[in-house]
Structure 1
Amino acid sequence: MIRKPEISEYNPFYQPYIDQLHSDEIVPILKEQLASTEAFFRDLSEDQGNYRYAEGKWSIKEVLNHINDIERIFTYRAMCIARGETQSLPGMDQDVYQENSGAQSRTLSSLLEEFLALRKASILLFDHMTEADGMKVGEASGSKVTVRALAGLTAGHSAHHVKVIQEKYL
């Protein structure tokens, strides 16, 4: 079972994501988000997917693409650390990733399908980890982090950005 991390298990920069977790068990949150995130994005039109709330801000499609990118990155880091990786894992520049993603040329529905596939894989990854796996420590983006922190960050990051869309885009 993967539980909510303690603040000492991740860089404090990520606290807003952990603050989104409303349960101590991460996998049930990931499973609930699978359904709620699907319902949320399915209710949006393709035109809404192109909406930006201000100049220079990402479109809703680009936000969903970013959620997908970070899901991949956090779960990759978690898998590496759980499997015993000792090398420091690299950081990333979200703006460079976005510029090279081609998200604006995709449909909102294709980005949602990608999210659903990624989230199902994330659930399978974390659902089969032990508590001991969750407590393994590695380094990513220059900071120490536990596997369970990365699981929590995966759920919290997604929740954070859905909330931003609700508050600033719709």
Structure 2
Amino acid sequence: MKKPIENEFPKDKYFSFYIEQIDFQNVIEALMVQKELVINLYKNLSNEQQIYQYAPDKWTPQQILGHITDTERIFGYRALCIARGEKQALPGFDENEYMDASHFNEQSFESLLEQYRLVRESSIALFSSFSEEVASRIGNANGHAVSARALVWMIAGHERHHLNVLKERYNIG
């Protein structure tokens, strides 16, 4: 699936920032590479690293993994709806409210990693089924006109962003 063009997503800083994080020509390939990278990175974390916070009120790597998975579920749902021609506006979400309700640090680390793997594999299967015409369909998510393709690229870019945070702030990766 090729990169979305400018009229497929808003000029909002987050949309373009996430999309520009990916230097692959095909986002499906990026998602497959990222899956292996994330699984290998996370499975080698110690228990202390999993729940480390570099500052008060900052998320732990375990919470980041849960957040990445939740965000992929939400963006993937949006991409599916838009690809199928949904005309209704799709709601936004507040990542901090979701985090407060998640209790990721109290969940099994192994379960969170398995959820990530399963969600990513399901996303890859779904997105691989999108033709370029289907992927370019425009809908409304969080009050913005956006293509299904742009949401798929945002999944990869959002994850890349958090991998960079893990490297820069947690010395992981």
The two structures have a TM-score, normalised by structure 2, of 0.94
Distance across 2 between alignment mates of 1:7 and 1:49: 37
Distance across 2 between alignment mates of 1:3 and 1:164: 26
2:38 is aligned to 37
Contact 1:77 1:89 in 2 (8 A): yes
Distance across 1 between alignment mates of 2:45 and 2:18: 24
Contact 1:4 1:152 in 2 (8 A): yes
Identical pairs, percent? 38
Superposed CA RMSD: 1.0
Q: Can you give the 5+ residue segments of structure 1 that lack an aligned partner in the other structure?
A: none
2:87 is aligned to 86
Distance across 2 between alignment mates of 1:52 and 1:87: 39
Distance across 1 between alignment mates of 2:165 and 2:109: 17
CA positional deviation for 1:36? 1.0
1:8 is aligned to 7
Give the letter aligned to residue 4 of structure 2.
P
Q: Can you give the 5+ residue segments of structure 2 that lack an aligned partner in the other structure?
A: none
Secondary structure of residue in 2 paired with 1:5 = coil
1:133 is aligned to 134
Please list every run of at least 4 consecutive aligned residues from structure 1 whose deviation after the TM superposition is greater than 3 angstroms: none
Give the letter aligned to residue 102 of structure 2.
S
Distance across 2 between alignment mates of 1:129 and 1:48: 38
Contact 1:46 1:107 in 2 (8 A): no
2:102 is aligned to 101
